[in-house]
Amino acid sequence: MAGSWRWAVVAFCFVMVCVAAGCGRKAEKTPAAKATPPAGVGLPDWAPKNPSPEFLRAAKVLKPLPEDAGGGGSPLAVAFYEMFGVLTDEQIATFLERKQVNLPPDAPADTRALFKGKYGAREVGGELVYSRNKVSVPVKSLTPAQRRAFEKVKAAMSDDFKAQGDDDLLVQLYRIGAKEDLSNVDVAFTATGHEVHFRLTVMTKKSANRITMSGFGRSFAQL
């Protein structure tokens, strides 16, 4: 996909990550009826006509990205919303708790500049400190409902990769060190600033005291 919906892979001391159009002819076309959200819930303009309970649950927390950020309405955005909507109450509470984290001191200069300029990171003892929302769930710990939502995410991500001329998601994950059963892969939602990202992170141990992380992430909503 084009524009701001390109996949991003950001690397530092450890590598961190940090469409269909219908063709039919009718003499007259009337707008599809919009879903009526529960009181206090604002649905994106691109919400499915009959959004799932998981989508509606996510919409209680998430807001759509500005129109110029792109991506709204794609099967991928819907899948991310539904994945967020199957998080437990405790996991959503964890995500909403903003915490202070450090950027490693040997992060590349352009990464440091990005975090300082865009995310308001500040220097503390040689490290950059910034605030972030995050919840992370190992693939092996997903509940049955979460596993079903994850399968939809995998399918939508694979379609997105293929549309860009790349291999599907599993091939991409195996290439960066994922195990065949994805037991070393975490599913995460993060927000640095207001943008909410979906992330898949592969963790591979490089030494007794160091774990290397790499993966894929994309913004799809905001707080």
Report residue 140 as tokens: 């092996």
If you search the block for the tokens 């308001």, which residue do you land on?
A: 120
Per-10-residue mean pLDDT, the chain, length 223: 37 34 35 48 83 94 75 82 97 94 79 80 81 93 97 93 89 91 94 89 70 75 90
Cα first-last separation, the chain: 23
CA distance 223 to 196: 7
- Number of domains the chain contains: 1
- pLDDT at position 65 is 84
Sign of CA dihedral 158, 162, 165, 171: positive
| 75 domain-assigned | yes
| 115 domain-assigned | no
- pLDDT at position 26 is 37
CA distance 70 to 87: 25
Question: Under DSSP, is residue 167 helix (H, G, I), strand (E, B) or coil?
Answer: coil
CA 195 and chain centroid, separation:
10
| 1 domain-assigned | no
| 25 domain-assigned | no
Structural domain containing residue 211: 9-17+51-98+132-222
| 165 domain-assigned | yes
- pLDDT at position 184 is 92
- pLDDT at position 33 is 41
- pLDDT at position 21 is 31
| 147 domain-assigned | yes
- pLDDT at position 218 is 87
Strand blocks (E) in the chain: 99-103, 122-124, 127-138, 185-192, 195-207, 210-222
| 171 domain-assigned | yes
Instruction: Provide the residue count of the chain.
Output: 223
| 192 domain-assigned | yes
